[in-house]
Structure formats: C-alpha cells, structure tokens
Structure 1
C-alpha cells in the first residue's frame, strides 16, 4: 500500500519530539510517565521494537525499482495488538520528490514483517550526492517505536541539457580576438561541458526552406556531441585538431561553468540562436522567425526558428539521454520597432509555453511537458551600453515596450525569471562588443552567464 511522506518542517529535534509526545497524550490519554524515548530522542516502549533488516541504504534518483527496505517488528510475549507503520521526513528537503509504499501497513503477531519501498523522482534541478533522514513509526495507538534511517542519495545518471535561443547576444558578438581559450584562460573548455555540434547559421546555402530548419542532417555536423567550445554556434571541424578557429564568445560556456558547481553530471548545451532574428519578418535576418504558432498577422513571420530549436533540443535529448533543465533566451533588439514591439509580450509568452509543450519528454516523463511545467525559462535585459559608437542608456519607446515585456514575464508565466544586465556597461568596466553597444563585450557576456544561472536558481519553488 502507498503512504504519504510527511515532514516536520519548522521544528528543531527537541520541538519535534515534544509535538510527537503531545499528539500521543491526546490520542491515548497518556501522562509523561507512560512515554519512553531512547538515547537519540526517538520514541520507544517495552512492548515492541521496529528494526530494519537492510544493510545498504542507497536511493538512486529516478530509479523506478526504488530502494527496498525489509522491516521486522520484535514483540514481547504479551503484546498481540495490531501495529500500524508510517514514515516521515525529518525535514522538507528530506521528503522532497519522495514517494513511499509498504507491502504491509498493519502488522499482526502472525505477520510482523513488511517491506518499505522508497522512490525518488527526478528533481526539478540537479541533485548533488546527499544523505536524507526518515523516521519510521510503529504504533499500536498507545505505544510507539521510532526507527531513524539515514539514506544515501545518488543523482540520476543523465546529463543536464540547456537550450540556448535568441539572437546575436546569445550567439555572442564579443568581437574577434576576445576569446581566452588557452589553458587557464577564462574561456577554456571543460571536458564535462558538452554541446550539440550544430551547423553554422547560413541563410544562403543551408537554411532556405521550412524543411531545412527541421532537417537533422542540416542541423548537426558529425560528431553530433562534442566538447563545448566558443563560439558555440559554429561547428567543430573534426579535421582541425586545434579546435575552432574563430575567436569570439557568447554567454553559454560561462553559464555552464557556473552550473557545474551544482551537479556531478555532464552539461550539454544546445545552441539554437541566430543573429538578427525576430518574431517579425526581418529582411536582414534569417529566413526563419521565432513565432511558436502560425499566424495571420502580416507583420509576424513564420515558425521556422522555433521549429529548429525544438528539433535541436530533441536531437540532443535523444543522443545523450539527458534531462532538459532550462531554456535561456536573449532577444528583443530586432523586434524593437514600431511595427513589432506591440506584439512582443504575447509572442514571448507563447514561445515559453509552446517550447515546454513541444520538446520531447525526457526521463522526467510526459507530465513535465505542460505549458506551466517547471522547465525554467530565463530572459535577459538588453544592453544599455554607451561608447563613442552610440548611447543606448535610454531606450526609445518601442524598445522600452520590449524591455518591459521581458521584465514582466516572471509575473505572467510560472518558472520564468529575469537576468538583469543594466549595469554591464563601459562606465562600469564592461566594454561593448562588436559593431555597436547593442552587443555586449566579452567581460559582460561572461558575467551574464553567471547571472543567467543565478536567475535559473530563483525559479525553484
């Protein structure tokens, strides 16, 4: 039979025992002379004792078989009352994502054995190896015995996958020669950070038609998964043993390096951004746009970039067996005009919900592919940089409208958050990037990666 994990979330150990004692007094009319505790403060009595027969207590996240723990009740010769079993987590963290069942919830003198099964569902964010504490209670209504179990938890054996979408600042326009990829450099690769080896953004020869944007062979260059290396949106040529030749960066690699601190698994980045891209048609951008659904609005474009992002996420999940842990979006500049800005908020909200629905399920299951599922979606503010090439510190009305849509997203859609970059300007030691201050420079992009990850952590319930 299944049972529900409960917790004592706001009590110290002494307070927890006091609550237990008070409950027993009310239920059984006891005085404090009738209740015993052992040296650890757990409830005990002279009539029976609950024991665990397991020697190895390791629970693996996502393991459908779970952890099976044989239990045995040792009674004295005179006790023959029915004894009920229950389980609680010592804290909220102990009980998080845990479900339990007992083969027998009520023990009798002829059936004094049961098996408890604990299952740990895959958490919303990566777990580190840890220990969790549970109290198993055996009670006949008057007497109780408690068994404390300390259980080792191992994370699911699957990489953490993050989708990178948007336009030039997600691609990275730090400027040629700004990458510091030598050993010990700020942009050095890490063998635990991998990426989908995507083909280059080419509107002239590769991505011309709708079918091109969803073609697996056009989207990925063999080998399909490689060590992540800036620039992420340029494929690694396997014949070039010196790595990628271009010398600019984006924010993805620094994001992944920060995320590594909170996981023991590999990270897989899925680059799917395109410089100059928008929801609206844009003659200077790619042949595809970011609309999540077909539209009759003559100002809005097609769904091809959305479809390409879904295709690439699906390819990465299938290739690695990974778990989609978040989506990073930096975009808005190409929609910051009179004909497009008014539609931006609705388009962005549709993008968030439809990406969550459309990407293939991973090991967390199909139930995590709902519009409001806990798949964090992080947006970033646009550059307010100012240098000799121009001053972007104050946005014009259309751009301010797009900026407000980005800022207001967390209030409208669950599990979204804003990464604020308003201070990443030359005046504060963060030079602008290539061509104009529309683009963040290398130092800013590295800091943005950290901030995107911090924003992702803030989406946790």
Structure 2
C-alpha cells in the first residue's frame, strides 16, 4: 500500500474514533417547566419527593445547579408545593444513556394568564417571559433544551378570556421556540382537570389545546383523566402530580425518538 491510501485509511479511522467519542460523551437533557399553579405545584411534598439523584438536577433561586428535590419552584414562597417535575425526570431517566443527566428548570407562576406571558407582565414579582428567557439561557449553558412542559389555562377559563385563548396558543408557543432557537422544539401541554366547578370553560380550554395540537406535529397533549384535586377543585393532589409527571415523560418517550 502506498503512502496516500495509508494516510486516507488512518484519517478515516481517527475520524470514526472522534465521532464515537462524541456519541458517548455524557449529555444533559434540559426541560423547561412553564405555566401556572398546576405546573408550579400545590401538592403536599412527602419524603419520597425529596430523595435526590445525582443524575437529576435543577436550579435554586440564584441560578445555581443543585440536585433536584421537591418543591422545585421557588417563586411563590408561601404557596410552594409538589409539582410534576421530579416524577417526570424519574420516569424518563431509565431511558437515557447511563451517563446522561436530566435538568428540570422551573418557570411556572401560579395564577398567570396567557396574555401575561405574552406581554411579559410582572406577576407575583416575576416578569414572566423575561424570567423564561433567563432560565433558558441557564439551561443552554449546561445542556440542550429538549422540550417545554406546559400546564396553564385555569386563569383564562372564563367568559372574558376564553374567546381569545385559541389564538394566543400559537403566539406563545412560537415565542417560546424563538427564545430557545428551535422552531421544532417539542412542547407538551397538559389538559385542565375534569373535576372543576367551572367545567364548561375548562373544557373550552382543553378543546383549544387539542385543536391547536392537531395543527402542530411537535405539540402533544397530556390527558388528565382520573386525576384528583386536593380538595379545592382546582389543583392536582400529590398523587395526581406524580401521575401527570409520568404521563409527560411517557409522552416524551413516545414522540421523541
């Protein structure tokens, strides 16, 4: 074999080795939690929700990376509770390469309406969209943003807001994707519960979510059938939060190969 083909073979071998190393390099899978109180969490935190795993990370109020345990959200100190984030990560983790990690970043604020997210309103001392941008930037420093987990709509389930709600969904999701710089970013939207005393308007929100998802191949709707409220006909109880976290994770597994 002359020198030129030998060099070519060596080059191909080195390239293949580099590619293999890149494929095996540990990755951090980043997920953004956004919406209002049922994403921020109002369930009771129990001991099982505080067990940490070095492969499941989050951030504290200063943006420092820490091992995740509930409660994850910190924006409303007097209202914090169990959300679905840790359950989501625990369910998804076994499907990832053994050295990869998950980072769950909280941005949800209870009571926030869709228009307040679009308008970057200051709500409960949080500028909603600015805070989202800030948390996306932190996530991108540590890994790749894989999806947004969204649960919101209770604040828009009323006569004043419901007519405009369907048109706001694509606006906000487009804004989210623009911030993340990924036009095909998967977004998972949770239904409102079926237990509301305001069920007609809540189901209007759910129909709007489903109708939009039918037009966007990168949006999935997470069903809430069978989930129970905590006694207020608004917020999922602890069991419901853990279950919907599993549903978000299983939907992600089904739709993202």
TM-score range, shorter chain: 0.7 to 0.9
Which of 158, 161, 178 is matched with 1:340 structurally? 161
Partner of 2:42: 173
Q: Secondary structure of 1:378's match?
A: strand
Q: Does 1:307 align with 2:130?
A: yes
Describe the shift of the 1:153–1:310 C-alpha distance in structure 2 as closer, same or farther (beyond 3 A).
Answer: closer
Return the alpha-carbon distance in structure 2 between the equivalents of residues 233 and 441 of structure 1.
16
Partner of 1:159: 28
Q: Secondary structure of 1:329's match?
A: strand
- 1:454 Cα offset (Å): 1.1
Describe the shift of the 1:189–1:337 C-alpha distance in structure 2 as closer, same or farther (beyond 3 A).
Answer: same
Partner of 1:297: none
Partner of 1:278: 113
Gaps of 5+ in 1: 1-71, 73-108, 122-150, 199-219, 236-243, 281-288, 295-302, 360-368, 386-390, 426-431
Partner of 1:402: 205
Partner of 2:84: 251
Return the alpha-carbon distance in structure 2 between the equivalents of residues 173 and 255 of structure 1.
16
Partner of 1:291: 118
Q: Secondary structure of 1:451's match?
A: helix
Partner of 1:190: 53
- 1:246 Cα offset (Å): 8.8
**Kept after mapping to 2: 8 A contact 1:229/1:253:** yes
Return the alpha-carbon distance in structure 1 between the equivalents of residues 135 and 210 of structure 2.
27
- 1:453 Cα offset (Å): 0.9
* Aligned residues between the structures: 245
More helix by share: 2
Higher RCO, Cα 8 Å, sep 6+? 2
Q: Deviations 1:55-107 (Å, cap 9, x if unpaired)?
A: xxxxxxxxxxxxxxxxx7xxxxxxxxxxxxxxxxxxxxxxxxxxxxxxxxxxx
Return the alpha-carbon distance in structure 2 between the equivalents of residues 112 and 317 of structure 1.
42
- 1:384 Cα offset (Å): 1.3
Structure 1 runs (4+) greater than 6 angstroms displaced: 244-247
- 1:153 Cα offset (Å): 7.9
Describe the shift of the 1:312–1:173 C-alpha distance in structure 2 as closer, same or farther (beyond 3 A).
Answer: same
**Kept after mapping to 1: 8 A contact 2:39/2:108:** yes
Q: Secondary structure of 2:220's match?
A: strand
Describe the shift of the 1:119–1:165 C-alpha distance in structure 2 as closer, same or farther (beyond 3 A).
Answer: farther
- 1:186 Cα offset (Å): 5.0
Partner of 2:103: 268
Describe the shift of the 1:436–1:229 C-alpha distance in structure 2 as closer, same or farther (beyond 3 A).
Answer: same
- 1:315 Cα offset (Å): 2.0
Partner of 1:232: 72
Gaps of 5+ in 2: none
Q: Does 1:316 align with 2:139?
A: yes
Describe the shift of the 1:292–1:246 C-alpha distance in structure 2 as closer, same or farther (beyond 3 A).
Answer: closer
Partner of 1:443: 239
Return the alpha-carbon distance in structure 1 between the equivalents of residues 68 and 213 of structure 2.
29
Return the alpha-carbon distance in structure 1 between the equivalents of residues 182 and 224 of structure 2.
30
- 1:306 Cα offset (Å): 2.0
**Kept after mapping to 2: 8 A contact 1:342/1:401:** no
- 1:325 Cα offset (Å): 1.1
CA RMSD of aligned residues (A): 3.0
Describe the shift of the 1:246–1:345 C-alpha distance in structure 2 as closer, same or farther (beyond 3 A).
Answer: closer
TM value normalised by structure 1: 0.48
Counterparts of residues 23-42 of structure 1 (less than 5 Å): none
Q: Does 1:460 align with 2:252?
A: no
Describe the shift of the 1:261–1:195 C-alpha distance in structure 2 as closer, same or farther (beyond 3 A).
Answer: same
Q: Secondary structure of 1:160's match?
A: strand
Describe the shift of the 1:257–1:370 C-alpha distance in structure 2 as closer, same or farther (beyond 3 A).
Answer: closer
